Amino acid sequence: MPKPPMPKPPMPTTPMPTPRCCLQIATMILIALGASRGLGAEPVSFQAGPPGRSLGSKSPNVLLICIDDLKPRLGCYGDPRAKTPSIDRLAKRGVRFDQAYCNQAVCSPSRNALLTSLRPQTLGIYDLQTNFRKGSPEAISLPQHFKSHGYHTQSFGKIFHVGHGNTDDAKSWSVESYKPKGRNYQTPENQNPENAKDKTKAAAFESADAPEELYNDSLIADAAIETIGQKGSSDQPWFLAVGFLKPHLPFVAPKKYWDLYDPKEIALASFQQPPAGAPGFALQNSGELRSYSNVPSQGTLPESLQRELIHGYLACVSFTDHQIGRLLGSLDQNGLSDQTIVVLWGDHGWHLGDHGMWCKHSNYEQATRIPVVVSAPGKAKNASSQALIESVDIYPTLCELAGIESPSGLDGKSFARVLEDPSLPHRDHAIQVYPRSKEGTGQVLGRSIRTDRYRLVQWKAWAAPEESSDWELYDYQVDPLETKNLAPDRPELVAQLRKFLDTHPQAKPPVKEELASGNSGTSGNSSVGSPEGSKPTDREALFAKKDANADGYLTYQEFMQGQKDPEQAKGRFGKFDADRDNKLSRSEFVSSGKPSK
């Protein structure tokens, strides 16, 4: 029997509402209560509500919708089985970008790129735990810039990556960010940590017959809808960033969203092998997924488990889609749709068994391609664009649409003109990066160039000579599934595409490496947290070796690999995990969980 709904956390303090605002709030409460009970396949209506005010001299509002781990497996992107009516309707209101790419397929660096318009290789930040201001202390974030131009800025849910030692950015927001206090799991067996057995987490998925008001993403939508109602009558423009957590693992959603899909109709990845001729270190072992109790630590996943995982992913997408429908419905009900720019953005893609991989953490197509939909007043509607865009391009685009001059030094460039004419091109290539550990070399960086037809990846250490590079080359026109690395057979094409890489500056080495080497004015205590007085660089190297998927943290399985004293090592894992998130960040491992000095 599910527990009663948890009380909603208090919202940030706001000024006393006017009578008109009270009426709007009351209306929105009724709408939210009704919408929260609807099924994902029945979206909130976008037509009702008072006529919108014309923009006039008022700057447009901005609603930035960020979705964790969302790949373009959506109805509007051509997936006939995806139940995403709300996102599909948003696409009819604006422009869908079919060739949009993240700048690194992992949460924090990807979000840094969106929110600072600085690529990971510009910041020198490729992990989860390093705050973007350590790479660029004077960076002006997207919401910070709008705030400085008179906007009320506020975030809900996951916008900046918070956790693993990383923090929110107070400079960016007018009020404290809203963080939900719901639960991931709803069933007692998954809430009991003892059921995780030798893993650090419970099941990778859960279908519970529970009210959706118990789930974090529903609470996030509630809070954002309340604020939209409060701000509806204000003359001050607003920038609201709403970050939904699903479909990030674990795949937990109310049962009714699972029921939208017939498991017999769920197809598995058709090609589940590594690309022939690809460097072994270019792939990953799905370490994030393997930390869950019902997933094998090694080997190919059984087909039945693969199907359940894909089912869970799709259910979570539909659950989040319903919350997005509620958000867009609130704009309509408050007469704000015609004066609000809406951007929907997935932070990176997700492998669902292709190449035998799960999760993100790679330079391949399924991890780097993302959904981007932009609806803006007076711009194209119900249109698609083949223009190549990157996450860093959204910042300057929003500035141009709002009539705000962009800060200097951004990596991105505005694609606002494409919103006028979706047939226009934007870039001749997009670039992504991902770090890996190569045996005998140590840390290497994969820089990936994606044109409208090809992907070229160069792997080399940051300061290494060009001749030490490993290369990958894929032709999506003839090999959309990346079955074979063509680089050894097509040296002339590699040379041609290398010219795109040459237009980019050399990647900045990881900030963490600079700190460890003592080049950033940090304490020189070389034995803090290291057994037998060993240097931090030794533990840095050990961390890199254990971090099999180079995602910036160690799962329990990665930590335990090769331990000569497994019983004692279990205790050390708990001791090192200072923030109790069941993962070890680089700093937690290097310092053995002791506070840095």
SS3 of 121-181: the string is: HHHCCCCCCCCHHHHCCCCCCHHHHHHHCCCEEEEEECCCCCECCECCCHHHCCCCCECCC
| CA pseudo-torsion sign 315, 317, 320, 322 | negative
Taking Cα atoms as reference points, which of 535, 542, 541 lies closest to residue 572? 542
Is 102 tagged catalytic? no
- Cis peptide leading into residue 250 (ω within 30°): yes
What value, to the nearest 5°, has the Cα angle with vertex 35 and ends 90 and 190? 100
- Distance between CA atoms of residues 511 and 147, nearest Å: 28
Output b/e per residue, 81-105; b: 16+ Cβ within 10 A. Answer: ebbbbbbbbbbebbbbbbbbbbbbb
Q: Provide the CA 555 distance to its chain's centre, in angstroms.
A: 19
Q: Which of 161, 164, 355, 361 is catalytic?
A: 161
What are the CA-CA distances from residue 534 to residues 517, 527, 528, 531, 574 (Å)?
14, 6, 9, 6, 21
- CA angle 456/461/464 to nearest 5° reads 100
Cβ burial 25-49 (10 Å sphere, 16+ → b, else e): bebbeebbeebbebebeebbebeeb
Catalytic residue among 66, 102, 107, 399: 107
List the structure tokens of 234: 């204000």
The set of residues, in sequence order, having a beta carbon less than 8 Å from that of 26 and lying 6+ positions away, is: none
Say if CB 252 and CB 318 are below 8 A apart: no
Identify the helix (H) or strand (E) that includes residue 90: helix 85-93
CA distances from 597 to 17, 120, 525, 526, 529 (A): 47, 26, 8, 11, 11
**Burial readout 466-504 (b: 16 or more C-beta within 10 A, e: otherwise):** eeebbbbbbeeeeeebbbbbbbeebeeebeebeebbeeb
End-to-end CA separation in angstroms for the chain = 48
Mutual angle of helices 85-93 and 303-333, in 10-degree steps? 50
For 559, phi then psi, to 5°, come to -65, -40
| 211 φ/ψ angles, rounded to the nearest 5 degrees | -60, 140
Task: Based on the residue annotation, tell me whether 161 is a catalytic residue of this protein.
Answer: yes
Structure tokens, 177? 């960010």
At 352, give phi and psi (nearest 5°): -115, 55
Angstrom distances, CA of residue 343 to CA of 12, 51, 143, 346, 553 = 24, 22, 14, 10, 30
Cβ-based neighbours of 233, under 8 Å, separated by 6 or more:
18, 20, 21, 24
Of 116, 315, 124, 283, which is closest to residue 209 (Cα–Cα)? Answer: 315
Report which of 197, 297, 367, 364 is spatially closest to residue 555, judged by C-alpha positions: 297
Note whether 398 and 407 are within 8 A (CB): no
CA pair distance 563, 569, nearest whole angstrom: 7
Q: Residue 588 phi/psi, 5° resolution?
A: -65, -40
Question: Which residues are annotated as catalytic?
Answer: 107, 161
